[in-house]
Amino acid sequence: MNQIPEIIRVVPVNHYVLLASVIFSIGILGVLTRKNAIIIFMSVELMLNAVNLLFVVFSAYKSDPAGQVFVFFIMAIAAAEVAVGLAIIVMIYRRMRTTDVSLLNSLKG
Amino acid sequence: MVLNLFYFLSFLAILSAIMVVVSKNPIHSVLYLILTFFTLSGHYFTLNAQFIGVVNLIVYAGAIMVLFLFTIMFLNLKDDAFTGSRVWFNLSAVLLVLVFAGILVVKIIPAQIGVASEMEFNSQIGMVENLGTTLFQHFLVPFELVSVLFLSAMVGAVMLGRREKGEKNF
């Protein structure tokens, strides 16, 4: 229907998938190693963005708008998640005076 | 030219993503995360997904990151990067992630992924008109459900953030 843009002809899909995998792995690393609850949240955002990138890439390469609509939904859900999550972090800080997740062990027997 | 742009944006995205995880000060993490979002938006623009790129900038780099910055400002956090006593835990986490990433890389590099042919390709996919048509024709029910989700998230955030009885200060 239209001419395929240069980047889609030059760059293979695999490169984008690799980029998204690397960003996702970095996000996992952040969730596992950091103790500050806010930075853990940021790492989760990183993982969500890696998935968004994948959706957009496949949508562009397969010429299907449904992928980009899904990115839209993911963004909306991420916004709701951040609002509630940060409210919870603020509440934890009020009670414990810290956001260090390794100190939140009152459920331990 | 366009290949160089791709590698430049990818390099910057990976570098700033690593800096998000390793920087000691949470404010630096937020700033690097904003840089990551900018590079990802650059990728969206080059992929002809202009609308998603702009929305990514407005929603993520604009709204969500401001929320993060405000929370960090409120809480007055101390630096607490990789503090000791969890050395083995951190090492095993790094090992686990390396194995995970290795499996992904090994499987992705030889994969054959189909691409739209010249005949069925439409470069106007990422425009508002096309996305809106798809959203309101095929995804109307999820769209309405998201509004319900937003309402409940808003109520939840307000309820959680409210001052409790007998609490003197923040």
Q: What is the pLDDT of residues B144-153, one digit of tens each?
A: 999 999 999 9
Q: What is the pLDDT of residues B110-121, one digit of tens each?
A: 888 888 777 778
State the fold for domain A6-99.
Helix Hairpins (1.10.287)
Q: What is the pLDDT of residue A69?
A: 94
Q: Are A14 and B112 in contact (CB under 8 A)?
A: no
CATH of residue B45's domain is: 1.20.120.1200
Closest chain A C-alpha to B39 CA, distance in angstroms: 11
How many interchain CB pairs under 8 A, A with B? 248
Residue B82 has pLDDT above 60, yes or no: no
Whether residue B102 is contained in a domain is answered as: no
pTM over 0.80: yes
In chain A, what are the domain boundaries?
Answer: 6-99
Q: Computed from CA positions of residues B42, B45, B49, B50, in that sequence, does the dihedral angle turn out positive or negative? A: positive
Q: How many domains does chain B have?
A: 2
Q: Is the Cβ pair A65, B125 closer than 8 Å?
A: yes
Within the 15-44 window of chain A, which residues sit less than 8 Å (CB to CB) from chain B?
Answer: 15-19, 21-23, 25-30, 32-36, 38-39, 41-43
Domain extent at residue B133: 123-163
Q: What is the ipTM of this complex?
A: 0.91
Mean pLDDT of B39-62: 92
